[in-house]
Amino acid sequence: MVEQKNIPNRIFDAVNVIILLILAAVCLYPMLHVVFGSFSEPALLSSHTGFLLKPLGFTLKGYEIVFQNPNIWSGYANTLFYVIVGTLLRIFMTMLGAYVLSQKTFLLRRVFMMFFVFTMYFGGGLIPDYLLVTRLGLLNTRWALIIPSLIATWNMIILRTAFSQVPASLEESARLDGAGDMTILFRIFLPTCKASIAVIIMYYAVGEWNSWFSAAIYLPARRDLYPLQLFLREILIANSSGGNTTGAIGSSDPDIVAALIEEVVRYSTICIATIPILCAYPFIQKYFVKGVMMGSIKE
């Protein structure tokens, strides 16, 4: 952008930087507060008022208690299952659907498209969905969290757009060589559209990692199948200890100790649950812009 280096411009630039600094601080601080708090001494934390700029004292007690909670471990294992198996199944089905929709030789292409897109704007609603899952016998099983949500129509459409941009010549020469549909899908479309597929995988995986509502509805009787987020909800929101035992600390008054350390434990729990996402964060950064743009291009 070409512009004059005069005073009003300079002021604008300076104010802009200040505003954005404040914004970045506001975005970052809550997470810093949680991280610092998770390492803080309970007594110091509860008597402290104001912002946390570093851990108060240093202790791993909070983390100890979290790791001793069996629900955290089972929640983690379940979430990993849902994320890995769920994402694999979902991306597979989504790719199949996107492939079919992108094949111009498919006569029913438009019909199917309308058939799918309509479901984005109208549906049965929570209760009919719930009744269906129950009648299919999926209630209180792992599969209730995966199968009813196998395909996200929006993602399938994004992938279809990506597939239809693959040069026709690639596909033609493959067909001449005798390739069938699955070969073309996995040997040609998959490598060519790697970035798009990576974005969809990211959407599905992060979505599944963070999801809790389906589990809350469909797993009423199976705590052993709960994903991590559901236990988090118990600990953070429903104000129960969620399986945390603070008796291990050994002190004069268990009630006081429990109450004091509760906050630290909550912070530690949040950290433990969010670490994987934050670790993956730098790796998936490069897909953000592409992901968002893919979804916004009209057919």
Partner 1 sequence: MTLTAEKKEKAPFSNRLKRNFIKHRSLYLIALPIALFYLLFKYVPMFGIVISFQDYRPGKGFWGSDFAGLKHFIDFLTNPTASRTIRNTLVINLYQLIFGFPAPIILALLLNELKLPLFKKTVQTISYMPHFISLVVICGMIKDFSSTYGVFNDVITFLGFERDNLLGNVDLYRGIYVGSGIWKGIGWGSILYLATLSGADPNLYEAAVIDGAGRWKQMVHITLPTIIPIAILQLIMRIGSMMSEGAEKTILLYSPLVYEKADLISSFVYRRGLQEMNFSYGAAVGLFNSVINLTLLVAANRLARKATGESMW
168 lines the binding site for partner 1 (CB under 8 A): no
125 lines the binding site for partner 1 (CB under 8 A): yes
- Which 214-273 positions form the footprint of partner 1 (CB under 8 A)? 217, 229, 232-233, 235-237, 263, 266-267, 270, 273
180 lines the binding site for partner 1 (CB under 8 A): yes
- Residue 77 or 292: which CB sits closer to partner 1? 292
126 lines the binding site for partner 1 (CB under 8 A): yes
178 lines the binding site for partner 1 (CB under 8 A): no
Distances in Å between the Cα of 120 and the Cα atoms of 59, 114, 115, 117 are 49, 10, 10, 5
67 lines the binding site for partner 1 (CB under 8 A): no
Task: Give the whole-angstrom CA distance, residue 126 versus residue 203.
Answer: 22
18 lines the binding site for partner 1 (CB under 8 A): no
DSSP state of 252: S
Q: Which of 88, 152, 166, 206 binds partner 1 (CB under 8 A)?
A: 206
Contacting residues for 204 by C-beta, under 8 A, at least 6 apart: 86, 87, 90, 91, 94, 152, 155
Tell me how far, at minimum, the Cβ of 296 lies from partner 1, in Å: 6
Q: Which of 97, 203, 243, 244 binds partner 1 (CB under 8 A)?
A: 97
- The interface region with partner 1, picked from 68-76, 121-129, 164-172, 251-259 by CB under 8 A, is 121-129
On whether the CB atoms of residues 215 and 146 are closer than 8 A, the answer is no
Q: Is 39 helix (H, G, I), strand (E, B) or coil?
A: coil
14 lines the binding site for partner 1 (CB under 8 A): no
∠ CA 275-53-44, nearest 5°, is 95
- Residue 94 or 246: which CB sits closer to partner 1? 94
Task: Give the whole-angstrom CA distance, residue 218 versus residue 213.
Answer: 9
